C-alpha cells in the first residue's frame, strides 16, 4: 500500500455511516462551556459533521479543522458552509501541527486512537494552545472492540490470510484512563481528567454490520488483502460470528474521555 493509502478513508461512506461517532461526539460537545467567540481546533475533523455543530456553538468564533485525509477534507468542504470565513480546513498530521500558542481550545472526537505516538500527539496539541487553553476530547480506549479484534486476530493467523499480514500491526492505540492521564500530564497539561466508558453499538443487520466494519473499523486490515473475493471472505467470517452474538451485530465500543488545561 502507498503512503497515501495509509491515511485515506472512504469519506462518503464514513459520512453516511458515522451516526455512532456523531452521537458520541455530540455528547462531548455538550460538555463545552463556551463564550461563543473562541478560536477552536477540531483535531481529526473527518467529514466535518461535528465541526458544523462547533461552528453553530460559536456565533462570533472560528474553527480550524485539521485532518490527514484529503478525502475527508474534501467531504468536510462540501458539508460545511461554503466559503464561511469562520471555518478553515487544513490537511496536516496531528503529529506535525503548524501552530504555536494559537487556540483557545481543542476538541477532538474519534480520532486520537488512530495516532500511535500519544506523547508526541499531546505535546503538539499542548503547543498549539494558548496559555490557559483547554482540551476536551474523546477517542477509543480501554478494551475498545476487544471481541472484534480477537476475532480479526484469529482470522489473520489462519493459513488463508497469514501471508497477507506478515508485517501487519493493529493501527490503533487504545489507552486506559490512567495511562492517558499520565500522557496528558507529561505533555504539560494540568487539571487532567480521564475516564473510560462503554458505548455498545448495535447494527441493524448483517449487511449494515459488514459495511460498517469493513469501511470504518477494519479498513486497514482489508487493505492488506489483494483480492476482493478474499476480502469478502474475511468480512463474511466476521459477520457470521457477529450474527451469533447477543444481541446480534453488536460492537463492543469503549470510549476514552480526555480533559486538561494549559497552565497560565
Ligand atoms: C473516525 S474519524 C473521526 C472524524 C470526526 N472527528 C468524527 O468524530 O466524526 C478519524 C479521523 O482522524 C483522522 N486522523 C487519523 N490520524 C490522523 C493524524 N495523524 N493526523 C490528522 N488526522 C488524523 C482520520 O483521517 C479521520 O478523518
Q: Select from 9, 16, 46 the residue to mutate for testing ligand 1; criterion: most ligand atoms less than 8 Å from CB.
A: 46
Q: Select from 75, 111, 201, 255 the residue to mutate for testing ligand 1; criterion: most ligand atoms less than 8 Å from CB.
A: 111
DSSP H helical ranges for 117-189: 118-128, 146-156, 159-162, 177-186
Distance 160 CA to ligand 1 centre (A): 31
pTM of the model: 0.96
Residue closest by Cα to atom 1 of ligand 1: 110
User: What mean pLDDT comes out for the span 46-69?
Assistant: 96
Residue 190, φ and ψ in degrees, nearest 5: -115, 180
Ligand 1 within 6 A of CB of 217:
no
Distance 143 CA to ligand 1 centre (A): 20
pLDDT-derived band at 149, boundaries 50, 70, 90: very high
User: What mean pLDDT comes out for the span 71-75?
Assistant: 96
- Ordered domains of the chain (ranges, CATH): 11-261 (3.40.50.150)
Is residue 4 pLDDT above 70, yes or no?
A: no
The predicted pLDDT at position 84 comes to 82
pLDDT-derived band at 7, boundaries 50, 70, 90: confident
Ligand 1 within 6 A of CB of 115:
yes
Ligand 1 within 6 A of CB of 257:
no
The predicted pLDDT at position 232 comes to 98
The predicted pLDDT at position 2 comes to 44
pLDDT-derived band at 5, boundaries 50, 70, 90: low
pLDDT-derived band at 1, boundaries 50, 70, 90: very low
The answer for 22, left when phi > 0, alpha when psi is -120 to 50, beta otherwise, is alpha
- Closest approach atom of ligand 1 to CA 49: 9
pLDDT digits (tens, 9 = 90+) for 225-250: 999 999 999 999 999 999 999 999 99
DSSP state of 122: H
pLDDT digits (tens, 9 = 90+) for 81-108: 766 889 999 999 999 999 999 999 999 9
How, if at all, do strands 129-140 and 103-109 pair? parallel
Distance 124 CA to ligand 1 centre (A): 16
CA 110 to chain CA centroid, nearest Å: 3
Ligand 1 within 6 A of CB of 162:
no
Amino acid at each position: 500500500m502507498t503512503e497515501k493509502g495509509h491515511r485515506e478513508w472512504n469519506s462518503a461512506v464514513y459520512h453516511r455511516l458515522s451516526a455512532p461517532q456523531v452521537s458520541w461526539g455530540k455528547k462531548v460537545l455538550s460538555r463545552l462551556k463556551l463564550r461563543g467567540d473562541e478560536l477552536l481546533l477540531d483535531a481529526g475533523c473527518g467529514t466535518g459533521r461535528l465541526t458544523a455543530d462547533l461552528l453553530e456553538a460559536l456565533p462570533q468564533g472560528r474553527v480550524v479543522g485539521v485532518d490527514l485525509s484529503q478525502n475527508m477534507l474534501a467531504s468536510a468542504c462540501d458539508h460545511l458552509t461554503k466559503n464561511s470565513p469562520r471555518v478553515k480546513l487544513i490537511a496536516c498530521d496531528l503529529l506535525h501541527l503548524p501552530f504555536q500558542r494559537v487556540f483557545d481550545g481543542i476538541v477532538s472526537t474519534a480520532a486520537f486512537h488512530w495516532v500511535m505516538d500519544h506523547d508526541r500527539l499531546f505535546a503538539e496539541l499542548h503547543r498549539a494552545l494558548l496559555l490557559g487553553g483547554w482540551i476536551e476530547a474523546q477517542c477509543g480506549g480501554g478494551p475498545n472492540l476487544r471481541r472484534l479484534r480477537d476475532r480479526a486476530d484469529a482470522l489473520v493467523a489462519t493459513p488463508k490470510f497469514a501471508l497477507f499480514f506478515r508485517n501487519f500491526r493493529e493501527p490503533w492505540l487504545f489507552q486506559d484512563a490512567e495511562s492517558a492521564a499520565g500522557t496528558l500530564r507529561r505533555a504539560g497539561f494540568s487539571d487532567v481528567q480521564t475516564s473510560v466508558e462503554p458505548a455498545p453499538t448495535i447494527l441493524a443487520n448483517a449487511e449494515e454490520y459488514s459495511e460498517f466494519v469493513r469501511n470504518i473499523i477494519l479498513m486497514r486490515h482489508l487493505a492488506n488483502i489483494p483480492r476482493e473475493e478474499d476480502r469478502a471472505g474475511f468480512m463474511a467470517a466476521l459477520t457470521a460470528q457477529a450474527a451469533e452474538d447477543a444481541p446480534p451485530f453488536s460492537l463492543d465500543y469503549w470510549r476514552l474521555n480526555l480533559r486538561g488545561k494549559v497552565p497560565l
